[in-house]
Chain A
């Protein structure tokens, strides 16, 4: 009969308390060391959530981003944190009867918002090519189309970007409250708060969120120095990013970059609460729909047919 090995016995009496205490101190010390070695400074780790920052703290945080930009790109930048205006709710209209699928918006967005150019290549706007025969049907959509001239016969084009939902699934999915909806409707991300879990990406039904799998490749000479803390400031590796309606422009009253570059004038932008605005005119006189309406995300991004 072979000798049976007994299960390890758990000691009834606790470990020597002083030894246990020592182990805990050592573990805590190791955690601090790990933090400083992975590039996260204690100061970043200890600061409050963006919404709770005092004006003084915010000023320090912004100055720090500018300093880091200078270190990383050798270029002077201005990083603002302009807040939403009272009485403004942004609305975006995209005229599907006009869009020709030229992708000018995609690259204007990349340049304006400091996206990673190559490996990873990040583009916040995805232009879907679909068959007129099938209508808006994702089963027949292709965003890798190539052509000598657009629009191609029998096709129509539907650019998709963040829909700035009023009921945003991404915000609900975020475990750290690193993403939230602002008063003017823009869903923003604090890249310093994002832990890179990508729950928001899987929650988004529009594929609007993009992950920095590697440190973004962004040539210093192409860096847009006009930045917003919650928008186009350069991102580190391991955070999620997305369209912010060009928060750095629109909070100053300007049109988003994609609106200004569109060669066919298919993109409309304005204040939904202003009855005289272009977007209100679209809402009141055109055939308007929202993408994936059945999901009840209530986008602030509207597709319409002007003809």
Chain B
């Protein structure tokens, strides 16, 4: 009989050890234990995280987060400064040029109604000219684009049109119109990632994007040897 009791006790002990995690899992979590409380509490990870986040978000509300302009894509090689060739205002009549064929060939930007000197300043070719006559540097070309494309300009300034990288709640890098649109043929075709002054940025291309490989079908997955590579090509954009 005594042996029975000892047996029973061992059984109970083992059973309890086994059952407790199951019971805990089955019973789930205490209703008052919220993820926020438990997750943010570990002091080693980030002790002041919650408080810091609050400070940050209130700071964000007061002052707009810093915006950094991405590097504009480079000019065609050896073409800038334009004043290297264009010293005088020159002939202002609209005509077919004997130079800049690469641009004339692709020019598709209300090409029936417009030509070079509608955007480029005749007096100083190193800057652009607004409809008001005010000149703007190439780095602020969005002001020129925004004259006609007001809706896109508005969305772009709010971060809805175009791309931003960085922090959703802080420092962001924004891209210029010309990082994605070729100003002479602005309909979006594709972009490529480039490096300007050691910084990664994007430049528009005349070719459309090639999609990355399609996912494997379930039956292909069963058959595939690890050798069949579906490595992505260099992704455009981003950091």
Interface residues, chain A, CB within 8 Å of chain B? Answer: 17-18, 21-22, 24-25, 28-29, 31-32, 45-53, 55, 58-59, 62, 80-88, 100-104, 106-108, 110-111, 117-121, 123, 126, 143-151, 176-177, 180, 182-183, 193, 217, 250, 253-255, 257, 259-265, 268-271, 274, 276-278, 281-282, 285-286, 306
CB <8 Å contact, B4 and A18: yes
CB distance from B188 to the nearest CB of A (A): 7
Q: A104-B237, A177-B28 are in contact. Are A286 and B50 (CB under 8 A)?
A: no
Contact residues in B for A274 (Cβ distance below 8 Å)? 57, 60-61, 169
| Cβ of B39 under 8 Å from chain A | yes
Q: Which of B8, B33, B168 contacts A253 (CB 8 A)?
A: B168
Q: A86-B53, A265-B180, A306-B161 are in contact. Are A253 and B169 (CB under 8 A)?
A: yes
- 5 closest A-B pairs by beta carbon, nearest first, are A83-B39, A265-B163, A83-B40, A107-B232, A103-B212
With the chains together, A250 CA to B170 CA distance in Å? 12
CB distance from B156 to the nearest CB of A (A): 9
Q: A18-B3, A255-B167, A262-B163 are in contact. Are A104 and B191 (CB under 8 A)?
A: no
Nearest B-chain residue to A120, judged by Cβ: B221
Q: A31-B18, A143-B215 are in contact. Are A282 and B160 (CB under 8 A)?
A: yes
| Cβ of B109 under 8 Å from chain A | no
With the chains together, A86 CA to B239 CA distance in Å? 28
| Cβ of B54 under 8 Å from chain A | yes
CB <8 Å contact, B7 and A18: yes
CB <8 Å contact, B161 and A102: no
Q: A83-B35, A263-B202, A265-B163 are in contact. Are A25 and B191 (CB under 8 A)?
A: no
With the chains together, A51 CA to B190 CA distance in Å? 46
CB <8 Å contact, A254 and B33: no
Q: Could you list 10 A-B pairs, sorted by A, with CB under 8 Å?
A: A49-B24, A82-B45, A83-B40, A110-B232, A145-B211, A177-B28, A261-B238, A269-B168, A274-B57, A281-B159
With the chains together, A107 CA to B209 CA distance in Å? 15
Number of interface residues of B (CB under 8 A): 83
Q: Which of A28, A257, A269 contacts B18 (CB 8 A)?
A: A28
Further pairs besides A18-B3, A119-B226, A261-B238: 5, Cβ < 8 Å = A24-B11, A107-B235, A150-B210, A271-B169, A281-B158
CB <8 Å contact, A88 and B216: no
CB <8 Å contact, B35 and A48: no
CB <8 Å contact, A263 and B191: yes
Contact residues in A for B43 (Cβ distance below 8 Å)? 55
Nearest A-chain residue to B208, judged by Cβ: A149
With the chains together, A252 CA to B185 CA distance in Å? 39
Count: A-B pairs, CB below 8 Å: 251
CB <8 Å contact, A263 and B209: yes
With the chains together, A262 CA to B212 CA distance in Å? 13
Q: A118-B228, A265-B163, A269-B168 are in contact. Are A29 and B42 (CB under 8 A)?
A: no
CB <8 Å contact, B158 and A255: no
CB <8 Å contact, B20 and A50: no
With the chains together, A259 CA to B167 CA distance in Å? 11
CB distance from A30 to the nearest CB of B (A): 11
With the chains together, A204 CA to B28 CA distance in Å? 21
Q: Which of A146, A183, A264 contacts B188 (CB 8 A)?
A: A264
| Cβ of B118 under 8 Å from chain A | no
CB <8 Å contact, B38 and A53: yes
CB distance from A277 to the nearest CB of B (A): 7
Instruction: Mark interface residues in B151-167 (1 if CB within 8 Å of A CB, else 0).
Output: 00001001111111111
CB <8 Å contact, B162 and A25: no
Instruction: Mark interface residues in B199-234 (1 if CB within 8 Å of A CB, else 0).
Output: 000100001111111111100011011101010100
Nearest B-chain residue to A24, judged by Cβ: B11
| Cβ of B131 under 8 Å from chain A | no
Nearest B-chain residue to A270, judged by Cβ: B168
Contact residues in B for A46 (Cβ distance below 8 Å)? 17, 20-21
CB distance from A36 to the nearest CB of B (A): 13
Contact residues in A for B180 (Cβ distance below 8 Å)? 263-265
CB <8 Å contact, A253 and B170: yes
| Cβ of B36 under 8 Å from chain A | yes
